Amino acid sequence: MERSARALVAALGPLTVGHLLAILVAILPFSLLAALVGWQQQIQIGASLLVIGFGIFLFVKRRHLRVLARIRPTQLGLWSFAVAIAHGAGLMLVPIYLGLCRSGDLSRGDQAAGALIVSNLGNAVLVSVTHSMAMIMAGGMLAWLVYRYLGLKFLSRSWFNLDAVWAGSIMSIGGISLAIALAGRH
């Protein structure tokens, strides 16, 4: 980021917007699907299979495109949106949104998020904004700490890839959601 702390801070806004849009693209279609109450179980099963399938896809195809490595600051929001969509942003929230997790299985934060999301579309947007802000604050703080204390050479020498862990977590959430949806079929 131009070897400047100012450029790093300026990048946080477009990154937030891109991530937020990716989450909304993932959640809003499911909010419309959830309105079809008569098809709720079929929708839950389909959404679970979609999440599992996406996790498998991410696990199998872990190679990143080189073209995404260098991005101009003016294209950062678009880059953030594309990468967040490609990594399944918002898919982890879909099981909560569709009520696939029983309230006894959820933490207090997840219960609150689930209650907010299903109450109306405005709250779904509020949860998406809150999630994006938490993500960008945590990521921005880590980026600043790496920049300030470890330096840019640390990144080029010690890069690690968590794609397999991410794909596994998406498949796990999808599997748990599918099991819960199928258990409700009896």
Report pLDDT for 48: 84
> How far is it, in rounded angstroms, from Cα 157 to Cα 151?
11
Report pLDDT for 137: 93
Which token pair is 123? 């709250």
Judge contact between 173 and 95, C-beta under 8 A.
yes
Report pLDDT for 141: 92
Q: Where are the domains of the chain?
A: 5-183
> How far is it, in rounded angstroms, from Cα 130 to Cα 139?
14
> How far is it, in rounded angstroms, from Cα 17 to Cα 85?
13
Mean pLDDT by 10 residues, the chain (186 residues): 81 90 82 67 82 86 63 82 76 62 57 60 76 88 87 70 78 86 73
Judge contact between 42 and 52, C-beta under 8 A.
no
In SS3 terms, the chain reads as: CCCCHHHHHHHHHHHHHHHHHHHHHHHHHHHHHHCCHHHHHHHHHHHHHHHHHHHHHHHHCCCCCHHHCCCCHHHHHHHHHHHHHHCCCCHHHHHHHCCCCCHHHCCHHHHHHHHHHHHCHHHHHHHHHHHHHHHHHHHHHHHHHHHHHHCHHHHHHCCCCCHHHHHHHHHHHHHHHHHHHHHCCC
